[in-house]
DNA sequence: ACGACCGTGCCACCACGTGGCACGGTTTGC
DNA sequence: GCAAACCGTGCCACGTGGTGGCACGGTCGT
């Protein structure tokens, strides 16, 4: 929720103040809809009149709308989603991956994630929630550093080693928990194991109680374009299950790769 | 879609010019990504320097990014999608409807649509493409007037008759094809048939060669919140198939309604 | 070698967005 | 019952932030 993108802006306030504020408002509305003027102005530390002008403007432009019952509280329209769903290549990948995701969901009963790499992070594109009464909580659109997730490691293992090393070395690695490995050398070595097994495992590296198994989906020249993964509580994931789930995920991901036109031979 | 905003949008220019332009740019980028500065400035009839400032700003704010290979052409990031996927209630509906959609897709082989009503229009929320080599082309996020689609008629038939009449009478009904019915009385009468059968059929009312069958998904107080529909070429949809597909769609929609807590007894 | 593109950068001007403030209505507290 | 504290709304003088014309260097196609 709030902790995802720490307000690390403040450095580049030089460009387009009003636009920056407007998009911030749009984001804030999406997080706490339906929301009123005052609540919003407090949350964003904005003058109330400014906040209202933003809401009115975004409303006129068709991005948000007042609820029919509560005409002073605003929510998103489908416009933002319409824009977002045009994200390049997303449609094709989703279409191909969904059946495989349902298969994994059916055989394991756990939450299945479809993610894509973006810069030095991995972004959750879609998910199918598991049936267990206790599950991991995630949100479509959220992202995490590559080295903190199973999906991220699967991606790193599937790209050219030099590129993986460059990505990991570009900036100091963040530790999200005590179990997050932040040593580049150690991670690069772990990636060899991932390549050997065909899947990556992460236990408590992003959140103390959450574990995951992931495998990369490869496209044309053998490059990773997405990942499939299972996300589940660490308690429900003893080491003996690693290869069980791991191989299922790897098989599902390979099937997606094949449909994308990339046949992993060896 | 060049003709959208001709130079003189004069009515609402009073509010937040730069924001309006920025969101317009965002939308334009989503439609023609990856796109460069000059192409964009031409398409939006904007000074090149302004267009570039917008792109840089949107980039700094994380909504778009330059392609790694072509550093001067911009595409969307997943941010817009992250925002859009928080659209109220969408997540729950998608989660419930997806299995039913796959069922329909498997038994019919046709493209399955999940749509939601918004104002006087019906918006495509998600879809599963069929297997036929010739299919209807649609895009998630696109919308159409209620009275031009099977989904829209299913929604109208499921809401209180007074509300349906109010929606239809609020403004003159647009005719998208020769087959679009624009007479309010005639449509209201057709809705009775929809209620009796449990599904709506539309042939050539939105596009000459496209047909559809749809049924509404109802939530708590019996109100329509979404629809399931099949979209297919008219040629592949002879009248004898109407009840076949119609009842399948209605059954799938009813199952979704039940999971939303609304049991259609009578 | 030329012109027609491209993406980039600068900067004087003044429209545009800003935000403090006040109003009327409704909910809360006592 | 009243007052205080909220709410959403609207106004408007101020000055800053956005505008867009213009020019530059690079890279095509011819």
Q: Indicate the helix (H) or strand (E) that contains B122.
A: strand B121-128
Q: Residue B42 CA to nucleotide D13 C1', Å?
A: 37
* A208-225 confidence digits (pLDDT tens): 999 999 999 988 777 888
Domain B90-259, CATH class in plain words: alpha beta
Residue written as tokens 């179990």? A179
* Cβ separation A15–B60 shorter than 8 A: yes
Confidence of residue A115 (pLDDT cuts 50, 70, 90): very high
* Domain range list for chain A: 17-84, 90-259
CB contact under 8 A, A61 and B19: yes
| pLDDT for residue A110 | 94
Residue A22 contacts B where some CB pair is shorter than 8 Å: yes
The reply to whether B73 touches chain A by the CB within 8 Å rule is: no
CA pseudo-torsion sign B1, B6, B12, B15: positive
Q: Does A146 touch chain B (CB under 8 A)?
A: no
Chain A hits for B141, Cβ within 8 Å: 78-79, 81-83, 85-86
| pLDDT at B5 (0 to 100) | 30
Q: Nearest nucleotide by C1' from B53 CA?
A: D18
The pair of three-digit structure tokens given for residue B190, joined into one six-digit string: 């057709």
Residue A110, CA distances (Å) to A93, A246, B14 in order: 21, 13, 52
Among candidates A215, A225, A266, which has minimal Cα distance to A92?
A225
Whether the Cβ atoms of residue B93 and residue B116 lie closer than 8 Å to each other: yes
- Which residue in B21, B58, B81, B97 has the most chain A C-beta atoms within 10 A of its own C-beta, making it the best mutation to test that interface? B81
The angle at the Cα of A154, spanning A198 to A109, to the nearest 5 degrees, equals 75
Minimum-distance CB partner of B83 among A26, A125, A128: A26
* Partner residue opposite A78 with nearest CB, options B20, B99, B118: B118
For A43, residues 6+ apart whose C-beta sits below 8 A from its C-beta are A28, A32, A35
Residue B11 has pLDDT above 50, yes or no: no
The secondary element (H helix, E strand) that includes residue A227 is: strand A223-233
Report the residue of B28, B83, B143 to disrupt the A interface, i.e. the one with the largest count of A CBs within 10 Å: B83
Whether the beta carbon of B196 falls within 7 A of nucleic chain C: the reply is no
CA distance to partner chain A, nearest, from residue B224 (Å): 15
Q: How far apart are CA B258 and CA B260, in angstroms?
A: 5
Tell me, letter by letter, the H, E, C secondary structure of A41-81.
HHHHCCCHHHHHHHHHHHHHCCCEEECCCCCCCEEECCHHH
B102: closest chain A residue by CA:
A99
- The answer to whether the beta carbons of residues A115 and A123 sit under 8 Å apart is yes
Mean pLDDT of B153-162: 90
For A163-177, B4-18, B34-48, B175-189, which range has the lowest pLDDT when averaged over its residues? B4-18
Chain A nearest CA to B122, separation (Å)? 10
Chain D: nucleotides below 7 Å from protein CB are: 6-12, 17-23
CATH 1.10.1200.10 is held by the domain B17-84: no
B215 CA, C16 C1': separation in Å? 49
Does the C-beta of A17 come within 7 A of strand D? yes
- How do strand A64-66 and strand A74-76 relate by DSSP bridges? antiparallel
Mean pLDDT of all residues in B224-246: 95
Name which of B116, B129, B121 is nearest B253 in CA terms: B116
Q: Residue B44 belongs to what H/E stretch?
A: helix B37-44
Task: Give the residue ranges of DSSP H helices in B182-241.
Answer: 184-197
Q: Which of A53, A57, A23, A31 is closest to A41 using CA atoms?
A: A53
* Shortest CA gap B209–chain A (Å): 24
Contact B154, B224 (CB under 8 A): yes
Type and span of the H or E element at B49:
helix B48-60
Q: How far apart are CA A85 and CA B126, in angstroms?
A: 9
Q: State whether the beta carbon of B82 lies below 7 angstroms from any atom of strand C.
A: no
* Beta strand segments in chain B, E: 64-66, 74-76, 111-118, 121-128, 143-145, 200-203, 210-219, 223-233
Q: What percent of chain B has pLDDT over 90?
A: 43
Nucleotide nearest B51 (Cα, C1'): D20
Average pLDDT over residues A99-111: 93
Q: Looking at the complex, report in whole angstroms how far the Cα of residue A61 sits from the nearest Cα belonging to chain B.
A: 7
Q: What is the CA radius of gyration of chain B?
A: 21
B22, closest nucleotide (Cα–C1'): D18
Asked whether the beta carbons of residue B77 and residue A95 sit closer than 8 angstroms, the reply is no
In tens, the pLDDT along A20-46 reads 989 999 988 988 878 889 999 998 888
Which tops the pLDDT comparison, A147 or B11? A147
Instruction: State the Cα–Cα distance between residues A165 and A156, nearest whole angstrom.
Output: 9
The CA distance from A203 to A205, in Å, is: 6
Determine the residue of chain A that is closest to B140 in CA distance.
A82
Give SS3 for B59: helix
* Chain C footprint positions (protein CB, under 7 Å): 5-10, 15-22
Q: What percent of chain A has pLDDT over 90?
A: 42
Q: What is the pLDDT of residue A265?
A: 57
Find the range with the poorest average confidence among A8-22, A201-215, B64-78.
A8-22
- In this prediction, residue A137 has a pLDDT band, given cuts at 50, 70 and 90, of confident
The average pLDDT across B45-61 equals 89
Q: Does B19 contact strand C, using a CB cutoff of 7 Å?
A: yes
d(CA A227, CA B89): 26
Assess A31–B contact: CB distance below 8 Å, yes or no.
yes
Contacts of B34 in chain A (CB under 8 A): 88
The alpha carbon of residue A87 is apart from the nearest alpha carbon of chain B, in Å, by 6
């Amino acid at each position: 929720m709030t902790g995802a993108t720490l307000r690390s802006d403040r450095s580049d306030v030089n460009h387009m103040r009003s636009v920056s504020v407007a998009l911030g408002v749009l984001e804030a509305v999406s997080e706490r809809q339906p929301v009123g003027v005052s609540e919003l102005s407090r949350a964003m530390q904005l003058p109330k009149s400014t906040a209202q002008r933003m809401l009115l403007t975004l409303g006129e432009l068709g991005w948000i709308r007042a609820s029919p019952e509560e005409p002073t509280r605003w929510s998103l329209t489908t416009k933002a989603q319409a824009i977002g769903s045009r994200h390049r290549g997303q449609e094709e990948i989703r279409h191909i991956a969904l059946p495989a995701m349902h298969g994994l969901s059916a055989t394991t009963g756990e939450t299945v994630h479809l993610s894509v790499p973006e810069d030095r992070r991995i972004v959750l594109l879609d998910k199918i929630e598991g049936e267990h009464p206790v599950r991991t909580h995630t949100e479509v659109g959220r992202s995490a550093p590559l080295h903190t997730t199973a999906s991220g490691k699967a991606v790193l293992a599937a790209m050219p080693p030099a590129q993986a090393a460059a990505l990991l070395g570009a900036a100091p690695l963040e530790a999200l928990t005590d179990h997050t490995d932040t040593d580049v050398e150690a991670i690069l070595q772990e990636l060899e194991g991932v390549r050997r097994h065909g899947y990556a495992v992460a236990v408590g590296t992003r959140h103390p109680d959450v574990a995951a198994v992931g495998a990369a989906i490869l496209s044309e020249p053998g490059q990773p374009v997405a990942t499939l993964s299972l996300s589940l509580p660490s308690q429900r994931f003893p080491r003996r299950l690693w290869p069980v789930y791991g191989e299922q995920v790897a098989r599902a991901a390979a099937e997606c790769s094949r449909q994308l036109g990339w046949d992993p031979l060896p």
